[in-house]
Structure 1
Amino acid sequence: MELDIVSLSRFQFALTALYHFLFVPLTLGLSMLLAIMETVYVMTGRPIWRQMTQFWGVLFGINFVMGVATGIVMEFQFGMNWSYYSHYVGDIFGAPLAIEGLMAFFLEATFVGLFFFGWDRMSKVGHLITTWAVALGSNFSALWILIANGWMQNPVGAVFNVQTMRMEIGSFFDVLFNPVAQAKFVHTVSAGYVTASIFVLGVSAWYLLKGRAPEIAKRSMTVAASFGLAASLSVVVLGDESGYLANEHQKMKLAAMEAMWETEPAPAGFTVFGFPDQKTRETHFAIHIPMVMGLIATRSLDTEIPGIKELVDGTYGHIRRGILAYDALTQIRALPRGETVPEELKASFEDNGRWLGYALLLKRYVDDPRLATDEQIAKAAWDTVPNVPTMFWSFRIMVALGFYFILLTATFFILSARHQLDRRRWLLRVALFSIPLPWIAAELGWIVAEVGRQPWSIEGILPTAVAVSSLGVTTLLITIAGFALIYTVLIVIEVGLMLRAIRKGPEGMDDHGPETAPAPSASATVVAAE
């Protein structure tokens, strides 16, 4: 990585985002599992389901607090490291984040307190409503954040104001129901459900291997296997929808994921294996499955998927039209205040304004895009190709793990149906050692989404190189080191608290896990984790 402001700013944001996303999936998934477990408790009245809810609630609470601590930093970074981004699109990007804080986060945070300390102060139904409110609040938080992120991938419902030099909301309805944002939401939330399911499955497997609290462990595995199987299947289905939308709105991202340098005859094949070479612009030792990618990305047999080279060729034209828009905008801005804009300038900007962002790609090479040479335009065109090897392998490992989760949860679902969860100890060990894998898949998913968007901070509108603040390299290196240190300490604290709570086990349960054991108070449960 070059030690320049743009690269360091990107690295810092990636570092904090990936750290933060270690906590998000488990929060999303555990909140739903808690709601399901407590629903069973209210319906059956059996104390063991209350004990299960309280035990897994302790782990949820630890993770929730850490997620909040790391998430606060994310929003401050927009003002610190990405000031021009905040100026340029803050009117649009800030709205979903503000709604998330006002509507979803406060809802979630309020009911989290009631969840822990309301067990003996509320009715069963009242506490159940509280638990579902926590789950819905967690998912609403994800919804608004992903609406903001989805707009970065597909900037709909926005217009450019020539006078203020900013993007403004043209239709909040379009921003809210952006198809890319909706697909990202359901895909990301489903991935969180898988993460929590594998976590519960693995921890419960550890209890069975140790011969501890078997009744709680078996019931927890049954819930996790059932919920996890449904979530794993939905991740695959929703991933297919994401591929289809990528072909509609982010063709370069899709081509990079496939390392598809040349346009193939329809329907395009899926590259199972290969070694993409960005220097020679070819993929070595590629192994293809015919027709698969064409069916996923176009849902037809006769629609081509453009290759990277063809997309770059098209970018030349976008850049030249962007230069015309930049020239018209510069002349409009230079007019004396109050003077009428000539019709030819207005028409020129209206015809080419949508390509203005492509002219800004040239800012990396020349201060005034109108003075760019053909060589600089060619470099800017090839800059629109993200890191192909990173995209190619991240996507394939993520997909492979997705199918593994289906196999794992289906296996334990069948074992649960047959009442054989503790019969095969080697499978319990497999479940235990599978705990980290959903996090790897989730992080790879974010890498595919965000690396695939480069060189844009807002797809087709604002290049990343233009969006950064004017900071010094030394300042960025110091803040990166500080964030890395603080976040590492938080990770160590999180893991330590989680392991301590897991080793202690469910309160009030002996090694045989009788259902008649008294349920702990919420305060005792929280103190035990601390």
Structure 2
Amino acid sequence: MELDIVALSRLQFALTALYHFLFVPLTLGLSVLLAIMETVYVMTGRPIWRQMTKFWGKLFGINFVLGVATGIVMEFQFGMNWSYYSHYVGDIFGAPLAIEGLMAFFLEATFVGLFFFGWDKLSKVGHLISTWAVALGSNFSALWILIANGWMQNPVGSAFNPETMRMEVADFYAVLFNPVAQAKFVHTVSAGYVTAAIFVLGVSAWYMLKNRYPELAKRSMTVAASFGLAASLSVVVLGDESGYLSTEHQKMKLAAIEAMWETEPAPAAFTLFGFPDQAARETHYAVKIPWVMGLIGTRTLTQEIPGIDELVVRAEERIRRGITAFDALQQIRAAGVVSKVAPEVRSAFEDNGHDLGYALLLKRFVDDPRQASAEDIRKAAWDTVPHVPTLFWSFRVMVGLGFFFIALTSVFFYLSARRRLDRYPGLLRLAVFAIPLPWIAAEFGWIVAEFGRQPWIIEGVLPTAAAVSNLGATTVLFTLLGFALIYTILIVIEMALMVRAIRKGPEPDEEPEAELVPRSLVAAE
């Protein structure tokens, strides 16, 4: 990748997003686990569950603070590094982000203070409500952010206004209930639940191996195994739904994930293993499972899934229609308003305007898409193919880890039901070593979702290369290095605080209201 302004801006956003996403899954999952633990405490009145909630809540707090700090920077980048993107789609993309701040983040940030400082100031039920409010706020925050992101993947409920040169909301209901956004939300949240479950399971397993806080560790492992098993199964099911939606809305991404260069007869096979070669446009040593991809991608045995070669041909056709739309748009801009142009010009734009973004792909090769040669069009069409080996292997690492989490949580769920959590030290060590794996799976999932959309920043509407700010490459490189340094320091700080809190263990928790014998009777005796 050439280190031009586009590449550097992409690299900077990818870096900050990957760093930020190290904190998000654990926040999502731990918030719900805390609410479950405290619910058990309120229902049973047993102090051990209050101690568990406080201990895991401390780790949640460390992660939450750093997640907020790294997330704020990402929103500023839309204005700093992606100003044309903000101008072009700000009316649509900005609305969910504004709602996220006003509705979800304020809810989460308000009640997180009550969670930490309200233990002795609120009633049991009042504090439990605060804990659930934090969990709901965290998950609502993810919902609105993923509605915005889902629109980038599938830009429904919007229309381009040729007079303002901006995308505008045509149907907010369609934006809100975008099927891609809803699928991404439940899949991402479930992945966060898995992350928290494996984290709690692994830390508790370490306590078991060290013979420290066995009662807290056993109960935590039981909750984590149950919660993690349900979440792991959900991730697989909901990931399958995402694959099905990709067949309809992001065909090129799906073809690249499968390294499917040619369209296969229905039902398409799933490539379990292979070595994609983008230069030769083939996959070496491919091991395929018949029918599986057809069932995942189409839910039928009769519908074929188009390959990369066919999709490139379709892209060429859309680029040519986009050139027609671009030419009509220039005439509209010259006239000032749509009503002043000839009817055939308006008709040309209305008929081909949905492919205008494909004409903008030509900006990499010519200043005016109308002057593009057949070779330019061919190159632009092949630019719609993302880097196949990256997507191919990222997807398989993510899926492989997903099935491992199902197996791991199933084993510990069985052991907890049989009350044998302390019988197998080898399994406890495996749980400890598995702690970082959910983050690896989540990061690869992010790569599949976002890198797989390239070259589009908004699928089929705005190429990434056309969305950047007019900055110098040196300026972006300087801030990129600065962010990398600062975020690395933050990661080190978080790891140090987490390890220190885990080594220290839970604080002794005294609960005056839980006394069985009044102090006055003790004094009288």
The aligned counterpart of 2:299 is: 299
Mark the CA change 1:350 to 1:337 in structure 2 (over 3 Å): closer, same or farther. closer
In structure 1, what is the Cα distance between the partners aligned to 2:185 and 2:196? 17
Q: Is the 8 A contact 2:163 2:337 kept in 1?
A: no
- 1:518 aligned to 2:518? no
Amino acid at match of 1:301: L
Structure 1 position 519, deviation (Å): 5.0
Task: Give the deviation of 1:3 after TM superposition.
Answer: 1.1
Q: SS of the counterpart of 1:454?
A: coil
| 1:524 corresponding residue in structure 2 | none
Which amino acid letter does the alignment assign opposite residue 157 of structure 1?
Answer: G
Cα separation, 2, equivalents of 1:519 and 1:177: 46
- Equivalent pair of 1:312/1:382 in contact (CA under 8 Å): yes
For 2:449 and 2:414, locate their aligned partners in 1 and report how far apart those are by CA, in whole Å: 34
The 8 Å contact of residues 200 and 224 in structure 2, kept in 1 or not, is answered as yes
Aligned to 1:157: 157
Check the 8 A contact 1:507/1:519 in 2, yes or no: no
SS across alignment from 2:254: helix
Matched position secondary structure for 1:283? strand
Gapped runs of 5+ residues in structure 1? Answer: 509-516, 522-530
Contact 1:51/1:519 (8 A) holds in 2 = no
Matched, 1:428 2:439: no
> What's 2:496 paired with?
496
Residues 49, 337 of structure 1: alpha-carbon distance in 2 compared, 3 angstrom cutoff: closer
2:338–2:346 CA contact under 8 A, matched in 1 = no
Q: After alignment, is 46-55 or 327-336 more displaced?
A: 327-336
Deviates more, 1:333-342 or 1:322-331: 333-342
Aligned residue in 2 for 1:107: 107
Match of 2:414 in 1: 414
Counterpart-to-counterpart distance in 2, 1:13 and 1:503: 34
What SS class does the counterpart of residue 164 from structure 1 fall into? coil
Provide the residue aligned with 1:351 in structure 2: 351
Deviation at 1:341, TM superposition (A): 2.0
Counterparts of 1:471 and 1:95, CA distance in 2: 26
State which drifts further: 331-340 or 228-237. 331-340
Within 2, Cα distance between the matches of 1:367 and 1:133?
52
Question: Considering only aligned residues, what root-mean-square deviation do their CA atoms show, in Å?
Answer: 1.1
- 1:402-461, Cα deviation, whole Å (9 max, x unpaired): 000000000000000010001100100000000000000000000000011000000000
Query: 3-state SS of the aligned residue for 1:275?
Result: strand
Deviation at 1:518, TM superposition (A): 2.4
Is it true that 1:377 corresponds to 2:369 in the alignment? Answer: no
Change (3 A) 1:336 1:484: closer
Structure 2 residue matching 1:276: 3-state secondary structure: strand
Q: Which residue of 2 aligns with 1:83?
A: 83
Preserved CA contact (<8 Å) 1:412 1:421? yes
> Is 1:182 paired with 2:174?
no
Report the alpha carbon displacement of residue 332 of structure 1 after superposing the two structures with TM.
1.0
Q: What secondary structure sits across from 2:141 in the alignment?
A: helix
1:473 shift after superposition: 1.1
Cα separation, 2, equivalents of 1:353 and 1:210 = 65
Matched residue of 1:121: which SS? coil
* Runs of 4+ displaced beyond 3 Å: 336-339
Quote how far apart the aligned CAs of 1:235 are.
Answer: 0.2
Match of 2:518 in 1: none
Please show how residues 91-240 of structure 1 align to structure 2 within 5 Å: 91-240=91-240
User: After superposition, what is the alpha-carbon deviation per residue over 1:76-109, rounded to whole angstroms, capped at 9, x for unaligned?
Assistant: 0000000000000000000000000000000000
Q: For residue 477 of structure 1, what is the aligned residue in structure 2?
A: 477
Structure 2 residue aligned with 1:486 = 486
- 1:29, 1:197 within 8 Å by CA — same for their partners in 2? yes
Query: Any idea what the Cα deviations from partners look like across 1:228-261, whole Å, max 9, x if unmatched?
Result: 0000000000000000000010000000000000
Q: Name the SS of the counterpart of 1:22 in structure 2.
A: coil
- Provide, for residues 23-69 of structure 1, a one-character-per-residue CA deviation record: whole Å limited to 9, x for no partner: 00000000000000000000000000000000000000000000000
Which residue in 2 is equivalent to 1:261? 261
Q: For the residues of structure 2 that align with 1:282 and 1:248, how far apart are their CA atoms?
A: 24
1:274·1:286 contact (CA, 8 Å) conserved in 2? yes
Conserved in 2, the CA contact under 8 Å of 1:361 and 1:380?
yes
Partner of 2:245, secondary structure, is helix
Name the residue aligned to 1:402: 402
**Would you say the 8 A contact 2:331–2:341 is kept in 1?**
no
**Alpha-carbon spacing, 1:310–1:518, altered in 2? closer, same or farther (3 Å):** same
In the alignment, residue 507 of structure 1 is paired with which amino acid? E
State the partner residue of 2:521: none
Distance of aligned partners of 1:520 and 1:214 in 2 relative to their CA distance in 1, 3 Å threshold: farther
Q: How many corresponding residue pairs?
A: 513
Given the two structures, how large is their TM-score scaled by the length of structure 2? 0.97
Task: Letter of the 2:310 partner, please give it.
Answer: E
2:274 touches 2:284 (CA, 8 Å); kept in 1? Answer: yes
- Matched AA of 2:308: I
Superposed counterparts of 1:233-248, under 5 Å = 233-248=233-248
Indicate conservation of the 8 Å contact 2:294/2:305, yes or no.
Answer: yes
- Does structure 2 retain, via aligned residues, the 8 Å contact 1:5–1:472? yes
The aligned counterpart of 1:24 is 24
Q: What is the match of residue 328 of structure 1?
A: 328
Over 3 Å counting, the alpha-carbon distance change for 1:249 and 1:3 in structure 2 is same
Output the CA distance in 2 between the equivalents of 1:341 and 1:365: 29
- 467-476 or 68-77, which moves further after superposition? 467-476
Distance 1:92 1:32 in 2: 30
Instruction: Report deviation, 1:335.
Output: 1.3
